[in-house]
Structure 1
């Protein structure tokens, strides 16, 4: 039972460190955007994720963003309103449907997306480098363990 308790404590430490890493990544992004004269001092993680979703998948409407991000349409609408005010996204209408509003990144939104991508790639490279110390069998177990943890959350 003691080993299980130690694992729980270690998992809690991991989650706290991950939260700290997310905050640090966000602060790095804010610093870099200030260097590019983009004011994002109070940008939220959800706003970054919407920018990332549009940047990755192209023009999107509220419904497709909602499905892609597993959030309510109301939450996505609020986030998009904030991003419109920040001039990170803009509204467009597709030629075949003038009623439906879609969003695409502006030039500043593209810069934010690019910076965000760069930070994510660096973080991914660190994890991949870290995982090189494990055998294929250990990696399969780690993969199964993480998927099990996610399914329990």
Structure 2
């Protein structure tokens, strides 16, 4: 039983280290995102002044076009006001166009322009590289370990440790 108690403590300690590591690498992640956007600007030969939320909105539109503000908001967990601000910026830069469906002239939908589609494809390539690297990393684990890790991560995403501490 003491072995299990020690293992739980070690898992907690590793969890805290992971959180701290993420905080420490925040600057590195921002630099990588900035470098990705600069790479896009070089390939498109245009200064875009995009942030990662802009790029992810382009990705969401590209994945689901035609798509409206409400759907983008739901898929990205952004407020409608935030989505409206971002889509107005992207429209102004010629990356996104507004359209209406033939059967619904009231609702505005968004589609990617050719330039927006170029950013979409560059972003998709970068995500594919990260995904391949992550899946390669996971290949060192057995199927049972992978299924356990999936369950653990799902539970971690829904756990509220702060709320649990208020009860005691």
Select the structure of larger CA radius of gyration. Answer: 2
Whether 2:167 is the aligned partner of 1:146: answer: no
Unaligned runs of 5+ in 1: none
Deviation at 1:17, TM superposition (A): 6.4
- Which is bigger in relative contact order (C-alpha 8 A, separation at least 6)? 1
> 1:126 and 1:102 mapped to 2: Cα distance?
35
TM-score (norm 2): 0.80
Q: RMSD across aligned C-alpha pairs, in angstroms?
A: 2.1
Match of 2:37 among 25, 30, 38: 30
1:71 aligns with 2:68: no
Cα contact 1:93–1:99 (8 A) shared by 2: yes
**How many residues end up aligned between the 2 structures?**
152
Q: Equivalent residue for 1:135? A: 142
The answer on 1:39 being equivalent to 2:37 is: no
Aligned to 1:48: 55
Shift, 1:151, TM fit: 0.8
TM value normalised by structure 1: 0.87
CA distance in 2, matches of 1:15, 1:65: 27
Q: 8 Å contact 1:63–1:73 — kept in the other structure? A: yes
Q: Which moved more, 1:45-54 or 1:22-31?
A: 22-31
Answer with 64-73 or 75-84: which moved more: 64-73
State whether structure 2 residue 92 is matched by structure 1 residue 102.
no
4+ residue runs over 6 A deviation: none
